């Protein structure tokens, strides 16, 4: 159960020495209670207090990592129910199911899809994160062979090994233990054996229950058996059940300090109807799933889900930003227009979308305004004549283009004179106020 600030204060040295960077022990205790600081900041805390506070200050949802290496996926550590309260921390992983009854060609085709799924959007690499290998055949040898074949072809892709057969679990986990797969399939009838496999090979364990009560009994038992890293499946399969159970689990972990459900959640979205499957997966993105398993990953589906996930898991206090640079849109020649805008991603996407729609090749200078739009950036002193001039001068663009004309957004027409003062020899042209005026503006210049 989470401790209050006053309860934590009673366990601190109470010397107000300020070594933790806080004026008093009470101030530090209040921050600890809100999980805004780490106990490590106090060098004088006693071992006994550390034990009590360490437990109490642990994240309400345990951090569990799926896979190893660069493509490993960190899950859990969430602290809020609603994104606007603070931020969601570790974005959910998308996994696609491969059955060990599929032919080698079919398995290879899915693995190729996973390997080719990565796209870059607003500076982030987005991909299908994992492969869920299911022991549909019920045969331990077939399962192990499928797992080995996938791991050989895609060694960096995290795997979820789904079986309720402890012998199949042992063989397959042993084969890829170094890749830190998630072993999924511990239930009330196999829990001892599955926990033993997970413990022996130091991998996390997916716990499959029929309801929430059954889930807490299982996680408590598995913890007693010495396995700390778990992923929860409450048995929810319909949209209504997923919404209900995932919300109960998150709420119980955060608001009630219920450690039995303080783990990441796996949600199964597989449906014959791909549109319905995408909708269920979307529900998982929004409502607390850490892993979402799907039966297929057509491009349209993954792009839609990537975008939703990116929107849900960005920090609402930090706007999405594009890297400061000069971007080529189309294939601009040296005399192509040079425009400038801010690095707020929405601004960039709207402006670049309108330019691309115009089919006029241009260079688009994107100034770092810390994610503010042009007008807000100007008001906040981030989109100023001095910053624009410095950016243009330091970019080296003068060597790349055959003119010295910069087109600025109409909203900051007021800056044109001062930019010309700071960029001697340059002509500043005022473009349209709204991005949707750009196609006509650019086409008129080429006529």
Report in angstroms how near the CB of residue 223 gets to ligand SF4 at its nearest: 30
Neighbours of 250 (CB within 10 A): 20
Give the nearer residue to ligand SF4 in terms of CB position, either 55 or 106: 55
Report in angstroms how near the CB of residue 338 gets to ligand SF4 at its nearest: 54
Give the nearer residue to ligand SF4 in terms of CB position, either 13 or 361: 13
Report in angstroms how near the CB of residue 63 gets to ligand SF4 at its nearest: 24
Give the nearer residue to ligand SF4 in terms of CB position, either 23 or 141: 23
Give the nearer residue to ligand SF4 in terms of CB position, either 47 or 335: 47
Given candidates 3, 8, 28, 326, which one binds ligand SF4 under the rule CB under 6 A? Answer: 28
Give the nearer residue to ligand SF4 in terms of CB position, either 46 or 436: 46
Report in angstroms how near the CB of residue 216 gets to ligand SF4 at its nearest: 34
Given candidates 10, 19, 359, 427, which one binds ligand SF4 under the rule CB under 6 A? Answer: 19
Report in angstroms how near the CB of residue 44 gets to ligand SF4 at its nearest: 5
Give the nearer residue to ligand SF4 in terms of CB position, either 14 or 255: 14
Given candidates 18, 240, 256, 443, which one binds ligand SF4 under the rule CB under 6 A? Answer: 18
- Using CB under 6 A as the binding rule, whether residue 3 contacts ligand SF4 is answered as no
Q: Rule CB under 6 A: which of 318-377 touch ligand SF4?
A: none
Report in angstroms how near the CB of residue 12 gets to ligand SF4 at its nearest: 5
- Using CB under 6 A as the binding rule, whether residue 106 contacts ligand SF4 is answered as no
Give the nearer residue to ligand SF4 in terms of CB position, either 13 or 432: 13
Instruction: Please work out the total of residues on this chain that contact ligand SF4, with binding judged by CB under 6 A.
Output: 13
Give the nearer residue to ligand SF4 in terms of CB position, either 53 or 297: 53
- Using CB under 6 A as the binding rule, whether residue 20 contacts ligand SF4 is answered as yes
- Using CB under 6 A as the binding rule, whether residue 22 contacts ligand SF4 is answered as yes
Site track for ligand SF4 across 29-48, x = CB under 6 A: -------------x-x----
In contact, 160 and 131? CB cutoff 8 Å: yes
User: SS3 string of the chain?
Assistant: CCCCHHHHHHHCCCCCCCCCCCCCHHHHHHHHHCCCCCHHHCCCCCHHHHHHHHHHHCCCCCCEEECCCCCCEEECCCCCCCHHHCCCCCCCEEEEEEECCCCHHHHHHHHHHHHCCCEEECCEEECCCEEEEECCCCCHHHHHHHHHHHHHHCCCCCEEEECCCHHHHHHHHHHHHHHCCEEEEECCCCHHHHHHHHHHHCCEEEEECCCHHHHHHHHHHHHHCCCCCEEEECCCCCHHHHHHHHHHHHHHHHHCCCHHHCCCEEEECCCCCHHHHHHHHHHHHHCCCCEEEECCCCHHHHHHHHHHHHHHHCCCCCCCECCCEEEEECCCCCCCCEEEEECEHHHHHHHHHHHHHHCCCEEEEEECCCCCCHHHHHHCCCCCHHHHHHHHHHHCHHHCCCCCEEEECHHHHHHHHHHHHHCCCCEEEECCCCHHHHHHHHHHHHC
Given candidates 3, 8, 11, 25, which one binds ligand SF4 under the rule CB under 6 A? Answer: 25
- Using CB under 6 A as the binding rule, whether residue 13 contacts ligand SF4 is answered as yes
Give me the residues that bind ligand SF4 (CB under 6 A), please. Answer: 12-13, 15-20, 22, 25, 28, 42, 44
């Amino acid at each position: 159960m989470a401790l209050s600030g006053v309860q934590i204060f009673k366990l601190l040295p109470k010397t107000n020495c300020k070594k933790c960077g806080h004026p008093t022990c009470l101030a530090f205790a209040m921050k600890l209670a809100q999980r805004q600081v780490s106990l490590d900041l106090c060098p004088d805390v006693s071992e006994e207090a550390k034990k009590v506070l360490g437990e109490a200050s642990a994240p309400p949802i345990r951090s569990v990592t799926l896979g190893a290496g660069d493509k490993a996926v960190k899950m859990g550590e969430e602290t809020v129910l609603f994104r606007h309260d603070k931020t969601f921390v570790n974005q959910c992983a998308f996994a696609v199911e491969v059955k060990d009854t599929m032919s080698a060609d079919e398995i290879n085709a899915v693995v190729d899809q996973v390997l080719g799924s990565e796209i870059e959007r607003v500076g982030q690499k987005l991909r299908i994160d994992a492969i869920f290998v299911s022991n549909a055949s019920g045969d331990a040898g077939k399962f192990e062979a499928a797992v080995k074949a996938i791991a050989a072809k895609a060694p960096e892709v995290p795997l979820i090994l789904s079986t309720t057969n402890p012998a199949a679990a042992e063989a397959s986990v042993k084969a890829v233990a170094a890749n830190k797969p998630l072993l999924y399939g511990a239930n009330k009838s196999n829990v001892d054996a599955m926990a033993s496999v997970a413990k022996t090979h130091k991998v996390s364990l997916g716990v499959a229950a029929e309801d929430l009560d059954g889930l807490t009994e299982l996680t408590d038992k598995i913890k007693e058996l010495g396995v700390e890293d778990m992923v929860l499946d409450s048995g929810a399969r319909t949209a209504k059940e997923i919404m209900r159970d995932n919300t109960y689990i998150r709420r119980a972990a955060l608001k009630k300090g219920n450690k039995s459900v303080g783990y990441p959640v796996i949600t199964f979205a597989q449906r014959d109807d791909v549109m319905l499957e995408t909708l269920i997966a979307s529900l998982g993105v929004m409502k607390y799933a850490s892993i979402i398993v799907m039966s297929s990953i057509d491009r349209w589906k993954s792009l839609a889900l990537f975008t939703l996930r990116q929107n849900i898991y960005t920090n609402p206090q930090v706007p999405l930003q594009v890297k400061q640079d000069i971007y080529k849109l189309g294939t601009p020649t040296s005399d192509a227009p040079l425009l400038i805008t801010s690095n707020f991603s929405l601004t960039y996407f709207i402006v670049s979308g309108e330019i691309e729609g115009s089919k006029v090749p241009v260079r688009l200078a994107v100034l770092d305004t810390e994610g503010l739009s042009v007008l807000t950036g100007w008001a906040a002193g981030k989109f100023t004549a001095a910053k624009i001039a410095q950016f243009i001068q330091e970019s080296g663009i003068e060597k790349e283009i055959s003119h010295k004309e910069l087109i600025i957004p109409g909203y900051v027409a007021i800056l044109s004179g001062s930019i010309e003062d700071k960029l001697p020899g340059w002509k500043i042209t005022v473009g349209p106020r709204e991005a949707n005026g750009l196609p006509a503006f650019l086409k008129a210049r080429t006529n």
